Amino acid sequence: MLRTLSLTEQHGVALGFIMKKQCEIAARATVSTPSTPRVESLNLHVNSYVGREGEPLLCWLIKVDTAITARRIVDPLSKVAFAMSCLGGRARSWAYGRRPTDPTCFSTYEVFKEELRQAFEPPQNEFRSRAEFLGLQQGKHDVHAYAQ
């Protein structure tokens, strides 16, 4: 169609097209779309839970829950990953030691918290019980020597 027009007419058509597009862009830029303001998430620090004797697990879980809420983490597996990243020492070894044998062992954050409680809260503290058992002695021999 443009080939049938003279050079001046082609120039006018192109200029009209450019002007029309610029007006459309300007109109879109001036119309503000109502939106909710973006709320920044807070980056709260949580000290590591290492599973030492007398270390309060419940207090640590409350801090992790608060940090998860502040960071706006909603995915269950992301919650578990964040909580596991806040573990240290024996607790970290326990959690990451379970992953190779069963990658889906902590399917939700609630399952993770419950299993962590079972492993580290008294009186069912399996690590403390195991340490006490292995520390038993009869005479000069430890439990390994006695069992053999």
Q: Tell me the pLDDT tens digit for each residue of 36-65.
A: 666 677 788 899 999 888 888 999 999 999
Q: Could you tell me which residues are beta bridge partners of residue 49?
A: 87
Residue (of 127, 122, 121) closest to 97 by Cα position: 127
Asked if 43 and 71 touch (Cβ cutoff 8 Å), the reply is yes
Average pLDDT, the chain: 81
Residue 90, pLDDT > 80, answer yes
Q: Tell me the pLDDT tens digit for each residue of 131-140.
A: 776 777 667 7
Domain boundaries, the chain: 57-142
